[in-house]
Amino acid sequence: HFNIEDRVEARRRLGVSEDAKVMLSVGSLIPLKGHDVILGAFQKLVRKVKGLHLYVVGEGPERGILERKAREINLASSVSFVGQQPNNELRNWYNAADVFCLASSREGWANVIMESLGCGTPVVATNVWGAPEILTTPEVGILVERNPNAIGEGLLSALSREWDRSKIHGHVAKRT
């Protein structure tokens, strides 16, 4: 289900600009997922990375709070909350993204990390629970502490380098 597809085509299907730098977060909009922390990191990044846009896929009780925070810190035009997406549509989002971010305070074996890597998209994730077991090499992603500065630095690093999408995919290709 989660394989590398053409990034331009994935963006076309989603109506995402070809020229944008796309950051993606997928998960329930609840405190433990850390979307508020991601917004804090994004606020600093958007000034440094031209054309950066954050897409948040998911639904939950924190949605209104997160949307309000994005408006209050003047990010409404650079952050899109796209709601819950069918599982078969998620591959378009992962393939359209330049980087995926997971800022959970705790997480088992995160399917979202596996899905992103399956699509050849690098991951920046908090160094908790199962994430270090998946992101075992810097060739597929970056582990960070759970605070806006560390996440921002990890994302800036990820957005500043070229990634080998085939190598990223290969890291999880034998798993189902």
Q: Which residue has the tokens 């582990």?
A: 143
| pLDDT tens digits along 40-86 | 999 999 999 999 999 999 999 999 999 999 999 999 999 999 999 99
Nearest to 100, CA basis, from 123, 117, 132, 125: 123
**Residues 6+ positions from 161 with CB-CB distance below 8 Å:** none
| pLDDT tens digits along 27-39 | 999 999 999 999 9
Order of all β-strands in the sheet with 52-57: 79-83, 52-57, 21-26, 99-102, 123-126, 141-144
Distances (CA, A) of 119 to 74, 133, 141, 152: 31, 18, 13, 22
DSSP tag of 17: -
